[in-house]
Structure 1
Amino acid sequence: MKTTQEILETNKKQKEFYNNFKQNFFTKLWAKFRNGILNKTRKNIGVSNQTYDLHRVWFGDLKDKKVLDLGCFSGNALSMYLAENSKSYLGIDLSDVAISKLSDRLKPYPNAKAEAIDFLSDEFTERNFDLVYAYGVLHHFPSTDILINRLNEIMSDNASIISYDPLETSWPVKLVRILYRPFQSDADWEWPFTKETIQKYHNAFDVIERRGILGKSKWVFVVNFLPISEERKKKIGQKWHQQDWEKSAVSDYALYKCMHLTMLMKKK
């Protein structure tokens, strides 16, 4: 189990990595797969739009909410929406290069600001956030216990967390990650959720709603090789995705087959 100080030291390397993106061949190859084939699949079957639409619903009325956009880099898909509609908005990331870009984007919003800072450091003193938006972030912390304690420290009563992270609970995905990890440039801060990780969040917070993504639908790339129309391929992918979406909300078995997980959690 890593200590907070050890994680802070690792985060210095993480900052340098994201400031310069010095990836080795294998990490670039994985990124190309993730940002190419997977993103194309998610777009074609409607995963991305459905996820963002759900997050907007989960945000609720933002006008009286103090929002933390955790690990937002130069801004994620909903950063500007949060900045425009919340009572106050703070976007933080380790990368000062990325935060500089985000600061420029936030200029139209007087209630919004961005800061390059480590979430776990003593320098981060902001408190009483009503909403923490953590898109693709929570899995960057090797100690779930330390992260959960920190989240509880900075959240107001009845505050919400909205997360989106990769899973390592599906055997094909786990096998690929095991083979890839020895060559991974960012292995020190990439910790996809396991069954144990998910259970820790269920124990620490009230999980109001959750959805798994790319379960059965991750195999839609195989369908692309079939001699059928593009429209038919798309409909199959959409059907499989909707099955993943609905079943993972209530079934651990269905959830553990998925590649990604998004959750709405409330502070207990």
Structure 2
Amino acid sequence: MKTTEAILETNKKQKEFYNNNSKQNFFTTIWAKFRNGLLNTIRKTIGIQDQAYLLHKEWFGDLSNKKVLDLGCYSGNYWSLYLAENAKGYLGIDLSDVAIAKLNARLKPFPHAKAEAVDFLSDDFTEKDFDLIYAYGVLHHFENTNILIDKLNEKLAPKGEIISYDPLQTSWPIKIIRTLYRPFQSDAAWEWPFTKKTFYQYQKAFTILDRRGLLGKSKWNVFVAFLPISEEKKKQIGQQWHQHDWEKSRTSNRVLFRCMHLTMLMKKK
């Protein structure tokens, strides 16, 4: 398991990768087309992505007295400007100074909001006492979960909360695919989808107030798409499977671990 120093070195490579728009190799490109193509179409068609975003907004609650950290926000995620506009204080951070320059330009209308290019684990990042840390697609970029959890706890205010969204590698089909793909993956050094062990580490470290799994049964809509049935019927099947994932994963680990994605609302103990 990597030390903080080793992770900081890896993050320098990650910064270069995104700053220079480094090209993905053939295998990573194929995976991206599957993930951002067919799977993304399914997410949009049956409303998975919108439902997750709306749940995050619900989890934000009243932001007027909250100091918010938008962790790994790049040039701004779906909710970055909303958080910047409505929070008492907003700080977006990312490794990429190129992306942060773009975000700072977008933040000009909000005098209480700013963005910085800094590594979350670095001693250069000194701000703390955040009431909310929004980490969309970020926590799985840290190989050493214990180091990350310690840093999250250090940066959170008492009773502070974390909202996360990350890929899971817990269902056997996805685990097999990712294992075969990993040796050829361009960004493998900083891509660590959650395992069961990872989930239990977060469960031990924080109070999980709510959680939802996505793309469990509904991931099989990839194959339903090829059936000789109407588009409306395909949509209905996908929505039924998604709602099963969405509701049952709140309390059932068995259902949760069949999903491809996990979103959580966690509170500092």
Q: Which residue of 2 aligns with 1:162?
A: 163
Residue in 2 aligned with 1:253? 254
Q: Which residue in 2 is equivalent to 1:181?
A: 182
Check if 1:136 corresponds to 2:137.
Answer: yes
Residue 150 of structure 2 aligns to a residue whose secondary structure is helix
- The residue number in structure 2 matching 1:11 is 11
Aligned residue number for residue 94 of structure 2: 93
C-alpha separation in 2, matches of 1:219 and 1:77: 26
Distance in 1 separating the partners of 2:141 and 2:21: 16
Q: Which residue of 2 aligns with 1:224?
A: 225
Q: How big is the alpha-carbon RMSD for the aligned residues of Structure 1 and Structure 2?
A: 0.6
SS of the residue 1:159 aligns to: strand
Superposed CA deviations along residues 89-125 of structure 1, whole A, max 9, x for unmatched, are 0000001111111111111111110100000000000
* Runs (4+) off by over 4 Å: none
Cα offset, 1:21, TM superposition:
2.6
Distance 2:121 2:65 in 1: 26
Q: How does 1:12-161 map to 2 (within 5 A)?
A: 12-22=12-22, 23-161=24-162
Structure 2 residue ranges without an equivalent (≥5): none
| TM-score (norm. length: structure 1) | 0.99
**DSSP-derived class of the 1:182 partner:** helix
The one-letter amino acid paired with 1:54 is: L
Distance in 1 between residues matched to 2:110 and 2:33, nearest whole Å? 34
Tell me by how many angstroms 1:37 deviates. Answer: 1.2
Look up the SS of the partner of 1:238 in the other structure. helix
Greater mean alpha carbon deviation, residues 126-135 or residues 98-107: 98-107
> Structure 1, residues 194-216: CA drift from partner, whole Å, max 9, x if none?
00000000000000000000000
3-state SS of the aligned residue for 1:7?
A: helix
Farther off after superposition, 36-45 or 60-69: 36-45
- Output the CA distance in 2 between the equivalents of 1:4 and 1:226: 49
- CA separation in 1, counterparts of 2:102 and 2:38? 27
Query: How far does the alpha carbon of each residue in 1:18-40 deviate from its partner, in whole angstroms, 9 at most, with x for none?
Result: 11232211112211211111111
The share of aligned pairs that are identical, in percent, is: 71
Is the 2:39–2:222 Cα contact (8 Å) retained in structure 1? no
Counterpart residue identity of residue 8, structure 1: L
